[in-house]
Amino acid sequence: MIVAITGGTGFIGRHLITRHIARGDEVRYLTRKASVPAIEGATAIIGDLGVVDSLRPLVQGADVLYHCAAELHNAERMHDANVSGTKNLLTAAQGEVKRWVQLSSTGVYGSKPVHDVNEDTPINPVNAYELSKAAADELVYQAMTEGWLQGVILRPSNVYGVDMPNQSLFQLINMIRRGWFFFIGEKGAIANYIHVENVVDALILCGTATLPANARTYIVSDFRRLEDFVAIIAGALTVHCPSKRMPESFVRLIARLADYLPRFPLSSSRVNALTYRYHYQTSKIESELGYQQQISMEAGISELVRSTKQKLKVVRVVTASYVVPWHLGNTLKRIDGDFEMCVVGQGVSSYQNDYPDIKWVDIDLNRKINLLADLASLYRLCRFFLSYKPDIVHSIMPKAGLLTALAGFLCRVPVRIHTFTGQIWATKKSTAKLFFYALDKIIATLNTVCLTDSPSQSQYLYEHSISYAGKPLPVLGDGSLSGVDLTRFDLARLKQPATQLAKELGISQKSFVFSFIARKTRDKGAIDVIKAFAQVVKEYPQCLLLFVGPDESEGELETLMTETPELFNNVRCIDKVDNHELFLAVTDVLCLPSYREGFGTIVIDAAALGVPTIGSHIVGLVDAIDNNKTGVLFPAGNINELTLAMLSFLKYPAQLKSMGAAARQRVECCFSADKLYADLKRFYFDMS
């Protein structure tokens, strides 16, 4: 089939050419300039709608002619291009073209129909473009009724696609992304749009299908209530859906004044577009030609939104590399498709093989205070921020938080975030308490916003005058840094390697296993759990304690082991591990008698495997543990109460089973990694 197309280098025309080439048709298209890049697979015909003879090579012997060319912008040229040009093309096409398909517009029905529009609705063109298209359609319709031309007039509504030249829909998307959009007037406005590929489907049907009669006119469109249309965009952007609404009369007054201001974002035409209360009916083309919409509004708009996204650059800063798998791993596994991610910290590049899509930058951020070393680290952070130009920096851990807040502020990073995961000053006294508290105040002041990883921590900070906009600091979801990867913490998957680990550790079927998995410090309760377990094992010698984590007790544990070795009976001392899920899989009860926590990620990791936790009744852990339902809370530092809590699980086995099941259920409901990442992603987009 020989296909001729005017407007082939335009938005719709290019899609139409591509589709006909794919069908194996011979395609010719009109272009005024030989310098325009050729379209592979199609023949360019150099010509001008103003010169009849230049059009004859285009239409000669054509089975179908699609007249898609139109002047859209220059009102002074619209009549010559759209009306006179159509008249010249008709002259050239007479006796040559078997079928004519006229690409028109629903604009010819006017901007204020009083009810829904179908093909029988009288036209009511208003502006220069609408008037010229209506006049061109009348010329084609007259030729068809005279009998010498077979043809169809197709009237699409607002046509969109990722490569569309019209920017109004992109501007709407950007307004919603930035939180600037508001609805106008009462509910009930309608958004009429149609994806370009659906328009091409309709054009090809008009050009190739058997027509019930000559001189047919068809409308092709799709519509949604404006509220639903905006919700589609907001959902694709993963931002909150706008709900603000302004009186129509007030907005129209502002728009009329703004019409005299060049490039002002609010205009009368835009107000009209956001207050239309009618839709275009497509039942005629569906029933007569079998048209079916292939790309839904939801799919098309989501595709459009994705095309507007330039990935935000996000830099996560940590003090030490060991927190990467513990606190960032779940995020890093999910983030690459949404953001360009970089992790900065001491020795973090050791994880680059585990997360190959992430950028890694090693900058020493020593946890201990060292003025010269800290200034050097601050300088390196500033240099990196200035060269990388991140959109968001997000830190965790105290030293990383302070240096990132300073560097981000000095380098004017647009969005600066820190997540508090516990307060050093909470367990300090006098001068040290004031010093570390002052550092947290600096962090809170210099950042755009700070988060915490638990509601109780936010309340605690609020009571100590660290807040956001006069309210407690925000928390993502129900708390935690990145949630639990339920596919990783799955007992069925871990059964075989856990059985092997149990053999290596000397765990028998009769053993009852308590675990402590954390940094071995006094603040984490490492000394307390050793002393409590020593009392438990006297009554229940089949008990074991897996004492897992790096020793950061500054010699205190070593001294304790030397002076009172009996405290370590049935204790398996294990250094830092990267597979703590296996140790949890062989555990009956987790113990975390900490003196300060932000949340206690290990608690929900254990819960995912049906393991309840004994924890201190402190900020953070009161959110991770639902007392007497998913675990037991006891007064921090009370070793006797800790001992009794451990003994209770041995004396009442049913408690172990019921709490374990409740713990797993709570994690699935509140703390899955997918849920926490969705909250984080939405937060990043909202802040940017």
The confidence band for 37, taking pLDDT boundaries of 50, 70 and 90, is low
* Region 662-682 average pLDDT: 93
- Percent with pLDDT over 90 in the chain: 81
Residue 483: left (phi > 0), alpha (psi -120 to 50), or beta?
left
Q: What is the pLDDT of residue 174?
A: 85
* DSSP 8-state secondary structure symbol assigned to residue 108: G
Residues of 54-89 as b/e, b for ≥16 C-beta within 10 angstroms?
bbeebbeebebbbbbbbbbeeeeebbebbbbbbebb
> Rounded mean pLDDT of 397-420?
96
Distance CA 238, CA 233 (A): 8
With a cut of 80, say whether residue 30 has pLDDT above it: yes
Crossing angle between the packed helical segments 639-651 and 653-670, to the nearest 10 degrees: 100
Asked whether 377 and 363 are in contact (CB, 8 A), the reply is yes
What count of other Cβ atoms lies within 10 Å of the Cβ of residue 112? 12
CB under 8 Å to 228, separation ≥6 — which residues?
A: none
Distances (CA, A) of 148 to 96, 207, 208, 212, 376: 10, 17, 18, 17, 84
Which of the four pLDDT bands, split at 50, 70 and 90, describes residue 96?
Answer: very high
What CATH code is assigned to 312-482? 3.40.50.2000
Residue 318 near residue 328, CB atoms below 8 Å: yes
For residue 273, the cross-strand partners are none
Instruction: Give the tens place of pLDDT for each residue, 309-335.
Output: 777 899 999 998 988 988 999 999 988
**CB distance 161 to 11 below 8 Å:** yes
What integer pLDDT is reported at residue 256 of this predicted model?
83
**Contact assessment for residue 600 and residue 620, using Cβ atoms and an 8 Å cutoff:** yes
- Mean of the pLDDT values across residues 359-381? 93
As a residue count, the chain comes to: 688
pLDDT at residue 496 in the model: 95
> Of 101, 104, 89, which Cα lies nearest the Cα of 58?
89
Three-state DSSP at 314 gives strand
CATH of region 491-671: 3.40.50.2000
CA gap 324, 350 in Å, rounded: 10
Q: At what angle do helices 297-308 and 168-178 cross, to 10 degrees?
A: 80
Q: Bigger pLDDT: 159 or 687?
A: 159
pLDDT score for 293: 94
**Alpha helical stretches, state H, 411-490:** 430-446, 455-463
pLDDT-based confidence at 603, cuts 50/70/90? very high
The 10s digit of each residue's pLDDT in 451-485 is 999 999 999 999 999 999 999 999 999 999 999 99
Q: Which residues contact 288 (CB under 8 A, 6 or more apart)?
A: 211, 212, 216, 218
**Rounded Cα gap, residues 529 and 553, in angstroms:** 14
In this prediction, residues 474-497 reach a mean pLDDT of 93
The string over 470-503, giving b where at least 16 C-beta atoms fall within 10 Å of a residue's C-beta and e elsewhere, is eebbbbbbbbbbbbbbeebbeeeebeeebeebbe
pLDDT of residue 308: 79
Q: Return the SS3 of 261.
A: coil
Confidence of residue 528 (pLDDT cuts 50, 70, 90): very high
Distance between CA 640 and CA 180 in Å, rounded?
Answer: 58
Mean pLDDT estimate for the chain: 93
Query: Which residue among 29, 66, 109, 129 is the active-site one?
Result: 129
Q: Would you state the pLDDT for residue 261?
A: 66
Judge whether residue 664 has pLDDT over 60: yes
Does the active-site annotation cover 160? no
CB 606 within 8 A of CB 621: no
Tell me whether residue 652 is exposed, middle or buried, using C-beta atoms within 10 angstroms of its C-beta: 0 to 12, 13 to 18, 19 or more: exposed
Q: Are 480 and 599 in contact (CB under 8 A)?
A: yes
Which segments of the chain belong to CATH 3.40.50.2000? 312-482, 491-671
Number of neighbouring beta carbons within 10 Å of residue 618: 25
Distances (CA, A) of 592 to 558, 617, 641: 20, 10, 13
Instruction: With beta carbons less than 8 A apart as the criterion, state whether 605 and 584 touch.
Output: yes
d(CA 552, CA 520): 5
Q: Could you tell me which of 350, 375, 348 has the C-alpha nearest to residue 363?
A: 348
- Widest CA span of the chain, in angstroms? 112
Which amino acid type is present at position 453?
D
What CA dihedral angle connects 332, 333, 339 and 345, to 10 degrees?
20
> What is the CB neighbour count within 10 angstroms for residue 156?
27
Residue 35 has pLDDT above 60, yes or no: no
Determine which helix (DSSP H) or strand (DSSP E) holds 3, and give its type and residue range.
strand 2-6
Query: How would you class 129 by CB atoms within 10 Å of its CB: exposed for 0-12, middle for 13-18, buried for 19 or more?
Result: buried
- Residue 313 has a pLDDT of 92
pTM of the predicted model as reported, rounded to 2 decimal places: 0.60
The beta-strand segments (E) located in 571-644 are 571-574, 589-592, 613-616, 631-634
Closest Cα partner for 279 from 109, 441, 413? 109
Q: pLDDT band at residue 258, thresholds of 50, 70 and 90?
A: confident
The neighbour count for residue 432, using CB atoms within 10 Å, is: 12
Helix ranges, 1-127 (H): 11-23, 56-59, 75-78, 85-93
Per-residue confidence (pLDDT) for residue 583, from 0 to 100 = 98
Q: What's the token pair of residue 401?
A: 């938080």
The region of weakest confidence among 91-105, 209-223, 335-349, 396-410 is: 335-349
Q: Distance between CA 448 and CA 468 in Å, rounded?
A: 9
What's the average model confidence in pLDDT over 236-263? 84
Q: Tens of pLDDT along 44-70?
A: 999 999 999 999 999 999 999 999 999
Rounded CA-CA distance 406/501 in Å is 45
Dig out the tokens for 602 from the structure.
């290990």
Mapped onto helix, strand or coil, the DSSP state of residue 604 is: helix
